[in-house]
Structure 1
Amino acid sequence: MGTRRSERQSGVDGKLPASGSSNGRVNIGRPKGQEERQPWELGLFWLLVAAIALATMLVLSGSVRFFAGDVNGSCLFMLSSFLQSLAAVLGIAFTLTLIALQLAAQSYTHRVIWLHTRSVVFVFTFAMLLLAMVFIAVLLASYRSIQSTDRHPWVDLAVVWFVSALVLLIPFAVRTLRLLAPDSIAAALLAGLSVKQLESSDTAAVHVRIGPVFDMARKAIVSRDERTLELLMAQVRRRVAALLADVALGEEGLDQLQRAVSPEFRDLGWLASDRGDIGAVKQVVDCLRELVCRAGARPDRRVFAEELNAAIGDIWKEASARFSDTAHAARLAELETSMSSCRVEISSVLDS
């Protein structure tokens, strides 16, 4: 872009003041209502895993019996039905996964595919399905040896694993469908961004978590999907605010976080200006403004606030150039109003 310059702007309204006082308007701790909560299906999944392990141990110890039928007749029919049902369920689960992967890659970015394939829910559910199928097939192949015994704990175990495989489909399906939503994808990606990663200066690991979220934001800007952009910016704001509030985040981690998000925000603002999307520019600036206010209220986060404030200045300069012609006079006036509001809010928090 012809109007971009490499030099950093001092921000929307000059350098941030040295004082870290904040007139009481900004809560420095974790943002209210933004506590990170695990999805309910993940809690259900671990509850089911514990129940499966307990039921397996009880069956193998002989404490619990689930089946007491005739091995020659009803048992063989039941096991055969189990095997056919599991084969059908495995096909459905596999098809659901392929559809989810295709939709995620086409709608957002291919870099979110691993959220599905590397999750413990995905791996354990498919492993349970395959294990139950193989185990039941072995029982059917060796039913004569089972018949010669008075007790049939292996048949009981087959019942437990069959039911377990079916029940595990509930959290699996819910999680797969939930990860079709952009904000859920962003939340899952950013949840893995930890202070430990930032402090270790593992740039690649940090980018794997942050990069796809901003890729989705760029795609939302190009397609003029302001709602998706709003959801993504909200997730970024929550996670970055939570990291800033973490007392374990030191100077090295803070610098790593700044180098990861500041260029991405600049690029989003510039892209929104290029596309003539005043709404997207305002959303990016609003997200930056909140983070600047939150970081600037703490002396040990002031460097981070300075960098993001400079990004706001760069975005404003680019937007002013893009909307400077007569045809965009109304949009420029609207943007100037938004930027004036941004200056007022930042000043009210950061000025001593």
Structure 2
Amino acid sequence: MSNPPIFLAIIGLGGVGQAFLEQYEQLRQRLASQPNPTNLALILARRSKTQVLSERYGGLDATKIMQMLDESKKPYLPFDAILEFLQNAPGKVVLVDNTSDLDLAKNYPAVLSKGISVVTPNKKAFSDDIKLWDSIFEAAAKGGSHVFHESTVGAGLPVISTLTELIETGDEVVRIEGVFSGTMSFLFNSFMPVGAEGGKFSAEVKKAKDLGYTEPDPRDDLNGLDVARKLTILARIAGLKVESPTAFPVQSLIPQALESCSSGDEFMQKLPEHDDEMEKLKSDAIKKRKVLRFVGSIDVKSNSVKVGLEQFDASHPIAALKGSDNIINFYTKRYGANPLIVQGAGAGGEVTAMGVTGDLIKVIRLLR
């Protein structure tokens, strides 16, 4: 006998969403073929202007979703109507939010309070005002639902689950430090590689942009806010009441004179005029036989969080990082002076979707 079906709704079908859709279909087939099978039914797929839904909850063909969305002529329902549709499903429902939409995140408490679980890589949901954070988890407790967001920090890397397990097993987390941005990792591994000179800062930013490592407007990476959001999430899990990602020091690498640029293109055009500022920082590090890296750190005992440039010895694991990898060091009472290290690809649609799929598997196990 199979388990009752679990219904799935997906919002957001960009790079991460489409990668997730493929992984979901593989998971659906695998679960359906097990000795004690679980049936997954995709009942809603929604992107910015179009949506398709299974009105009788029979399930949609995941392999045809993108085509169905392109051909859809159905009216785009307001979210309240979507929530009612999900609430009326004849079984447990999981909402997968693959967007970075804060407005959608603000609806999580309403979703969770109705018994609908949520899995998402949406950083804004868990790093915005702490009142939203509190209301999300209070609603989940009230509604008997579940919320997982592993991919909000480190994409597919087990960063949140590692920290959570350390805490739940009674370890004392002293400090967390690392490179939390694939973009900034690539940038500084190129700007100041160990044992080599590296290029000019503006040239390395352009290279990173051309390779697709930055946001369309690189200022969205260089302002440090993305890293600050990830640090806010980890700090809150560690027990610090961080009000927002702007409530602690965050170093921006946008030259002050370029903060008023009207576009990313204008910024990129003018950035070479300010290379001297970064060259001075590089020269200072060289004199000390160190390298520069853009890191985030959380000191639990002193209740402090910060994001910015730090100097490291060439032998330090953070200095030795390659490409666009992330590295997160957990210093705890149990692990002593040698941290527990999580390292690997911290960006990209496939690995981010993997984290979302992993969260979905966790929810399915809890719902069965």
Q: Same fold (TM over 0.5)?
A: no
Higher Rg of the two aligned structures:
1
Q: Please report the TM-score for the alignment, with normalisation by the length of structure 1.
A: 0.24
With normalisation by structure 2, the TM-score equals: 0.23
Choose between structure 1 and 2: higher strand proportion: 2
Question: Which has the bigger relative contact order, CA under 8 A and spacing at least 6?
Answer: 1
